[in-house]
């Protein structure tokens, strides 16, 4: 959640930064008005409370001096009723303000480029040179079906569209990739954790998926439980509503989970193949850090994900997202896009984000900073999306006869 103290201190500066991310000026003005209403409600409550304290002292004097207290008692009783009403109004105004604030995205870093969409993102660098084929490379769904690695029709039979079933070497490669990625991340200092695939509403509010993106989530009927859209949600929320010691930071974690998304806003996009599935496997990086360390850890996370692709000998590029393409919770994001020769383009395979204090404020994750409690910075990123990595291997390691070679670093995981 945005810093409401900053809203009070400098509304113009905060609103200007949020409008860079496409936040409507009318919504910001409403936020400002609700904040003013809350301030007035607090002042009214505090005034009544002060009057109550004064009358209580006077009440004691009257009793000691033997004066008639009936009139004063009537005033005290009437004021108590007004205090209760004022407290109810204050709570109502607080809830109204927080409901609006929960729907407002994070403030982008000043270094983030202005832009409307992915066409305005800024390429940072390319890593490895794409292979030149002496034949027309096929797309992954052709290769998957030819080699019997993935069956899309049986996925539909078992569930619905955008589900698939992996067989044989396809299934083995998915497992090998998961183990390779987890081992690689642990070698870079990220502790492995295993977390539930179901989380409650509070956890999703903490990382910013709710309330804005509820239509993209799978919800359990009759329960306030949701299938996770990413391991970022349960791993970040491991420390929800806790105060950590400074010595505990940074906390660097990695987790493998299946992820579930309705992709409600992606109709017609990537309907063939494994690029945009309702269920997919992913290895995630999550970090909780002191504010002064978060940028360094962000760079470590980008390097970790990029180096996995380099180890797999998959060409890729790093791209900084512009304001128009930046996610709801992110202050700064670097995407990693892998080269897909079958599509003759780079496609996103990882997204590393620094959310600064945004998620920590929502999830109440703090650390003891000297004598005071401060918000941690939270970071997250794919390392990597397993299905998309398998897609990249199929397309980059294909041969003219349709067979697919295996990356050297994965052979020990396959017993080859």
| Residues forming the active site | 261, 276, 348, 351, 388
| CB-facing half-sphere around the CA of 364: CA atoms within 13 A | 5
Structure tokens given for 141: 């769904």
Please give the structure tokens belonging to residue 106. 């994070």
CA distances from 179 to 9, 183, 236, 313, 355 (A): 49, 6, 21, 17, 27
Q: Cα-Cα-Cα-Cα dihedral of 244, 246, 252, 257, to 10°?
A: 10
DSSP class per residue in 319-330: EEPPTTT--SS-
CA 405 to chain centre: 35
Contacts of 264 (CB under 8 A, 6+ apart): 215, 216
- Asked if 377 contacts 291 with a C-beta cutoff of 8 angstroms, the reply is yes
DSSP letters, 47-61, are HHHHHHHHHHHHHHH
- List beta partners, residue 219: 226
Is the peptide bond prior to 213 cis by the omega test (within 30 degrees of 0)? Answer: no
Residue 89 to residue 80: CA distance in whole angstroms: 14
Three-state DSSP class for residue 126: strand
Output the DSSP codes for 170-225: HHHHHHHHHHHHHHHHHHTTPEE----SEEEHHHHHHHT-TTTTGGGS-B-TTSSE
What's the start-to-end Cα distance of the chain, in Å? 49
How many angstroms separate the Cα of 150 from the Cα of each of 114, 143, 276, 402? 40, 9, 15, 14
Burial class (CB in 10 A: 0-12, 13-18, 19+), 351: buried
- Residue 51's CB is within 10 A of a number of other CB atoms, namely 15
Cα Rg, the chain, nearest whole Å: 27
């Amino acid at each position: 959640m945005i810093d409401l103290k900053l809203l009070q201190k400098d509304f113009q500066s905060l609103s200007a930064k949020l409008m860079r991310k496409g936040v409507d000026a009318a919504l910001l003005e409403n936020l400002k008005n609700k904040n003013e209403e809350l301030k007035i409600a607090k002042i009214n409550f505090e005034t009544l409370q002060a009057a109550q304290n004064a009358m209580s002292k006077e009440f004691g004097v009257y009793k000691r001096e033997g004066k008639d207290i009936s009139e004063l008692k009537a005033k005290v009783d009437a004021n108590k009723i007004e205090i209760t009403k004022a407290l109810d109004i204050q709570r109502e105004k607080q809830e109204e303000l927080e409901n609006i604030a929960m729907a407002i995205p994070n403030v982008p870093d000043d270094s983030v480029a202005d832009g409307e969409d992915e066409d305005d993102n800024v390429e940072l660098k390319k890593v490895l040179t794409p292979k030149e084929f002496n034949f027309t490379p096929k797309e992954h769904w052709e290769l998957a079906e030819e080699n019997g690695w993935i069956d899309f029709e049986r996925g539909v039979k078992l569930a619905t569209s955008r589900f698939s079933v992996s067989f044989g070497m396809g299934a083995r490669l998915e497992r090998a990739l998961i183990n390779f990625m987890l081992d690689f991340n642990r070698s870079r200092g990220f502790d492995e954790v295993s977390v539930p695939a179901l989380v409650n509403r509070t956890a999703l509010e903490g990382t910013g998926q709710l309330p804005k993106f509820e239509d993209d989530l799978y919800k359990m009927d009759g329960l306030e439980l949701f299938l996770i859209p990413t391991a970022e949600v349960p791993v970040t929320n491991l420390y929800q509503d806790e105060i950590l010691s400074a010595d505990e930071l940074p906390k660097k974690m990695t987790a493998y989970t299946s992820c579930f998304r309705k992709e409600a806003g992606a109709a017609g996009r990537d309907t063939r193949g494994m690029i945009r599935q309702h269920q997919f496997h992913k290895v995630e990086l999550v970090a909780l850090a002191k504010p002064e360390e978060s940028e360094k850890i962000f760079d470590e996370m980008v390097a970790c994900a990029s180096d996995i692709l380099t180890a797999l000998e998959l060409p890729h590029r790093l791209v900084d997202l512009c304001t128009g393409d930046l996610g709801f919770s992110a202050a700064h994001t670097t995407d990693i896009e892998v080269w897909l020769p079958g599509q003759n383009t780079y496609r996103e395979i990882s997204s590393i984000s620094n959310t600064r204090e945004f998620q920590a404020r929502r999830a109440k994750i703090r650390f003891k900073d000297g004598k005071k409690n401060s918000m941690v910075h939270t970071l997250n990123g794919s390392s990597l999306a397993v299905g998309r990595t398998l897609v990249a291997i199929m397309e980059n390691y294909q041969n003219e006869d349709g067979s697919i070679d295996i990356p050297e670093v994965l052979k020990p995981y396959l017993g080859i």
